[in-house]
Amino acid sequence: MLSETDPQVFKIVKEEEKRQQEKLSLIPSENFFSSSVREAVGSVFMHKYAEGNIGKRYYEGNQFVDQLEMLTQARARTAFKLPDDWGVNVQALAGSNANLSVYLALLNVRDTIMGMYLPDGGHLSHGWSYEPKKVQNPNELVYFGGSSRVNITSKIFCTVQYKTNPKTQLFDYDEIEKIAIEHKPKLIITGGTAYPREINYKRMKQIAEKVGAYYMADIAHEAGLIAAGVNSSPIGIADVVTMTTHKTLRSARGALIFANAELIKKINRAVLPGLQGGPFNHSIAGICVGLGEATKPEFKEYAQQVVKNAQKIAAELQKYDFKIVSGGTDKHLVLIDLSNKPLLGKKFARALDYAGIVANMNTMPQETRSPTDPSALRIGTPWITTRGMKEQEMEIIAKWINNVMDICAEWKDLKFDEFEEKIANNDKINKISSEVKELCIKYPLKI
């Protein structure tokens, strides 16, 4: 037993277990897996090396790994309603790895890729770079990055990024088309980490076709909502679809890549031997179990409730004069513009954590501040919905969020360390933390 063989690690595990049980996770990229998923991830599949593909392994003893991958692929086909001429890769270790595999398969070095501007909700793996200490003009609708190429994609490829409309904070498809026509990218990408609205995949595919580009839809965040039919699907529309499996899909940590039969062969070779060796069989086992769960009626009910909860908490926060980016959400996430409030993202996220509510600071459209001290807060409902919470609880949580802002407003001008000292032992913050814990006890995680 771990408690006997390594009490130090056991103690850390138990402390994390307690944290998850007693706090509310509102981070939209996090979720809580079923005991079955966790059992599969912790299974003997973690012992086996399985470099290669089904029926073509470089090591012996992979009969059951082959069975596991075939079952995972079959469940992925069912969950996402794949066309007959599409295939799926289940071996990529994470979402960024999956995206890089697609680039390696379809592009050449210094080709141009076009993705969403990171502060507006895009992702690092879509070609991010920036110019340090330079404040960007929020009204410029196209961005070319800078000398700090923080992600490998911007080191290898030429990148151009489109922004959301400054007035609506939504995709401006006509403007995206103009940018694509001017810069003629080889690959156009949609998806990201903080865009709360549905994407018109057919329109994006039309733009890509007009300039002779591939179109990749990265649905890492909304994958579970798409599998459940709550959000629209790019499967069969985009040339390639990538996703992580641990967010709204509520499966183990990993990634899936979908494409037609011709492209998936290239992508398979890019995954192996292009970027990685042996897959994580134990993670694939967990993904397989999660995909099985995602095809059941109760998962659709869950996904529907995730969106209802997100829309409800957004509406409740608006009653407290919180500005919601784009005016609402179609998904599981809500982006809160705090520019009209005393506290911005960094301080507010820390204050909420002391109150038992876990969220994350985030950039937002027309952001002028640093990503390390941004203007917004990002929250989401996958985890708290997994706990069984519904609209009534969203009202309570929104009230707590507002109370934390009111309590901490008087310390808004303090340096961060001084601010944290003030909230660390504040009686009012501690009271909210106790109330949060009481709510969590009513909706326990099934550990």
Q: Map tokens 């090396």 to a residue.
A: 49
pLDDT tens-digit readout, 103-129: 999 999 999 999 999 999 999 999 988
Q: Which amino acid is at 15?
A: E
Q: Which pLDDT value is given to residue 352?
A: 98
Strand partners, 51: none
Residue 98's pLDDT band (cuts 50, 70, 90): very high
pLDDT tens-digit readout, 154-205: 999 999 999 999 999 999 999 999 999 999 999 999 998 999 999 999 999 9
Residues belonging to the active site: 49, 51, 218, 244, 247, 253
Residues contacting 206, CB < 8 A, separation 6+? none
Residue range 41-45: average pLDDT?
A: 97
> 409: burial class by Cβ within 10 Å (0-12, 13-18, 19+)?
exposed
**pLDDT of 4 strictly over 90:** yes
**pLDDT of 139 strictly over 90:** no
pLDDT tens-digit readout, 365-384: 999 898 899 999 999 999 99
Domains along the chain with CATH numbers: 44-294 (3.40.640.10), 297-442 (3.90.1150.10)
Number of alpha carbons in the 13 Å side-chain half-sphere of residue 361: 18
Residue range 324-348: average pLDDT?
A: 98
Q: Which pLDDT value is given to residue 219?
A: 98
